[in-house]
Structure 1
Amino acid sequence: MRLLVLGGTEFVGRAVVEAALGRGWEVTVFHRGRHRPPPGVRSLHGDRTAPGGLAALAADGGAWDAVVDTWSAAPRAVHEAARLLSGRAGRYVYVSSRSVYAWPVPAGAGEDAPLVEGAAADAAASDYARDKRGGELAAVAAFGTGGSLLVRAGLILGPYENVGRLPWWLTRIARGGPVLAPGPRELAVQLIDVRDLAAWLLTAVERELGGPFDLVGPPGHTTMGELLEACVRVTGADAELRWYEPEVILDAGIAPWTELPVWVPPGGEAYDAMHRADVSRALATGLVCRPVEETVADTWRWLTGIGGVAPRRPDRTGAGLDPGVEARVLAGGGGVAGTTPGEGASDD
């Protein structure tokens, strides 16, 4: 098959490109040239945010079985690209987000949950949820419901991550010593390895699927304990997880999700929205999720291979807990030891 990826040099786009090449597909990437794409692709250069930024794509005259677009800012870029390619591609795959659902998102919500109002195609960037919904609407306007595939991703982790979630945990645990671990240890979390997302996406293209799909691992696929204990094992660090109840963390003024990536305290609207989604539609269409240990190990291998400093998207704020705040909470005691170096979880 012939695939065009708009971007294709970082995180999700790169994972899609590598997976497509692994299937023997012909891959073209359209990007700004800031990062080198994987070997074996054909490159076109342009900046979608600049006047005339699609000129190289317009002049190329190529045709593709599918286009993959991961754009996250103002939907104008999706609108213009989709209109340009509507007669030259079989379908348009837009990697969206579960953030497009109207708040509060009830536990067990699926693709039929209420949506936010999408930003207009000609609007400037507004907020992430409205921009992503605007991108969806732009794709559907150009390719129709059947010709557009809306991949509403949840929490994505894995190699090439440029958001700073799993790399932050790996870096912190690699430093060793007591580590503030947000409990409860058995707290179920929903995440998806970027390579599993890419594999499902390409199979969906082959099957000519259309419409919206929530894409994240099933509830209970892993837990905070399994995730952080895997980080201890793969880094080989002299680290000890100290598990704290949510109330202690919140009382210390620590922000869930941002200061302690991945973690959201149970029982609230945020937890229901982020970690209790119904993904039965994706599972029924072939979604397979690898063990979290594999995601963690491969991310650590990639991170150490690039010198231990993960790339960071300029439109995302830094994630992670200030060491001074962590030290203050740890000094106050009250945490429960969970994992000691070289051992699995214990129940002391």
Structure 2
Amino acid sequence: MRLLMLGGTEFVGRAVVDDALGRGWQVTVFNRGRHTEPPGVAALRGDRTAPDGLAELGQGEWDVVVDTWSGAPAAVRDAARLLAGRAGHYVYVSSRSVHPIPVAAGTAEDGPLVEGSPDDGDVEYARAKRGGELAAEAVFGDRALLARAGLILGPRENVGRLPWWLNRIARGGPVLAPGPRDLGLQYVDARDLAAWVLDAAERGLGGAYNVVSAPGHSTIGELLEACVRATGSDAELRWTAPETILSAGVRPWMELPVWLPPGELYDTMHQGDVSRALAAGLRCRPVTETVADTWAWLRSLDGPAPLRGGLPPVGLDPERERVVLGRGA
């Protein structure tokens, strides 16, 4: 199989490239050249936002194209049009954010969708992802696979959510642990997302799939306890009620990454219907493996984990953490 990866050097794209190389596929990556590609790939250079930025894609044929673009949908449109007739399958890694928030628990792929257009320029994230979906489908039809991910964790994460928890817990001492401890999580390891995407493309699947774990695949307790074990720290997880955390003005998701208190936003992120992807072969590894491998990757770096450009940092300030822990005492 011949894969064209649009991007391919950072988080999800790199997981796709690594998985494809492990299968013995021929891999071509197309990107701006700002990061080092893994060995064994052919590299093409270009900037999708620049005039003639797709010039190096003017020749060549591929069985599968994987596109993780999150910017202007017009960039997906232009790439898809250029590759029409020279690519067998177009995989667009989208997001469950294409559903208007809040999303009711149990919402499947056929739930309400935000407005979007393949001709959009720079628009907000949800509309951008929906426009990218429409762009891929307009050109490739039922040969377009829309992989709607949710929370993505694992090695090379460039958002900083699990890396923040690991680094915080590695420092040890009392740790603000947001309850309830048995609160279920729904996420996908980037490597499991990559494996499913390539399997599905090879089988010729098309249409939209919610590609995250089943609700409750892990819990916030299991995630943070796995962080303690992986780091070997003396951290003491102090489980704190959501009401105490919220009354202190702590922002879920941003200051306490991954965590959302029970309610509409929790249902939106952690209660989606993924039965279609599970029936189509999605398999999700244990949280202990995701955590341990992410910690091993962090320890292999010379400095802090890289963040994707333009993203705000996540995590709770140590002084604010001490204040909240005092309130919960």
| Coarse TM-score class (shorter-chain normalised) | over 0.9
Is the aligned partner of 1:262 residue 2:245? no
**Matched position secondary structure for 1:123:** coil
Partner of 2:2: 2
Is the aligned partner of 1:164 residue 2:157? no
Alignment match of 2:132 (pick from 132, 135, 140): 135
Note closer, same or farther for the CA distance 1:301–1:236 as it changes in structure 2 (3 Å cut): same
Is the aligned partner of 1:245 residue 2:241? yes
Structure 2 matches for 1:325-340, cutoff 5 A?
Answer: 325-334=320-329
Partner of 1:197: 193
Partner of 2:46: 46
Partner of 1:222: 218
Give the RMSD, CA atoms, in angstroms.
Answer: 0.9
Give per-residue Cα distances to partners, 1:108-152, cap 9 Å, x unaligned.
Answer: 01101000001x3333312100000000000001111x1100000
Distance 1:106 1:8 in 2: 33
Partner of 1:299: 294
Distance 1:32 1:241 in 2: 42
Letter of the structure 2 residue corresponding to residue 52 of structure 1: D
Partner of 2:305: 310
Give per-residue Cα distances to partners, 1:13-57, cap 9 Å, x unaligned.
Answer: 000000000001000000110001111000001111111111111
**Matched position secondary structure for 2:135:** helix
Any conservation in 1 of the 2:154–2:190 contact (CA below 8 Å)? Answer: yes
4+ aligned runs moved over 6 Å, structure 1 = none
**C-alpha displacement at 1:324, in angstroms?**
1.5
Partner of 1:124: 121
Range with bigger deviation, 102-111 or 294-303 = 102-111
Distance 1:308 1:234 in 2: 19
Any conservation in 1 of the 2:220–2:259 contact (CA below 8 Å)? Answer: yes
Partner of 1:78: 76
Distance 1:116 1:263 in 2: 24
Alignment match of 2:175 (pick from 175, 179, 199): 179
Letter of the structure 2 residue corresponding to residue 318 of structure 1: P
Any conservation in 1 of the 2:3–2:28 contact (CA below 8 Å)? Answer: yes
Distance 2:48 2:310 in 1: 16
Distance 1:99 1:305 in 2: 32
Distance 2:211 2:79 in 1: 24
**Matched position secondary structure for 1:161:** coil
Partner of 1:344: none
Letter of the structure 1 residue corresponding to residue 84 of structure 2: S
Alignment match of 1:102 (pick from 100, 110, 133): 100
**C-alpha displacement at 1:322, in angstroms?**
1.3
**C-alpha displacement at 1:308, in angstroms?**
5.1
Distance 2:123 2:81 in 1: 22
Distance 1:16 1:57 in 2: 19
The number of equivalent residue pairs is: 329
Distance 1:123 1:234 in 2: 44
Distance 1:137 1:104 in 2: 22
**Matched position secondary structure for 2:66:** strand
Distance 1:288 1:304 in 2: 27
Partner of 2:16: 16
**C-alpha displacement at 1:331, in angstroms?**
2.3
Letter of the structure 2 residue corresponding to residue 90 of structure 1: G
Mind listing any 5+ residue stretches in structure 1 that lack a counterpart?
335-348
Distance 1:123 1:276 in 2: 30
Any conservation in 1 of the 2:215–2:271 contact (CA below 8 Å)? Answer: yes
Give per-residue Cα distances to partners, 1:232-278, cap 9 Å, x unaligned.
Answer: 00001121111100000100101111111000001x11011100011
Give per-residue Cα distances to partners, 1:136-179, cap 9 Å, x unaligned.
Answer: 000001111x1100000011000110001000100111111110
Q: TM-score, normalised by structure 2?
A: 0.98
Partner of 2:273: 278
Distance 1:308 1:263 in 2: 26
Mind listing any 5+ residue stretches in structure 2 that lack a counterpart?
none
Range with bigger deviation, 122-131 or 152-161 = 122-131
Partner of 1:321: 316
Letter of the structure 2 residue corresponding to residue 175 of structure 1: R
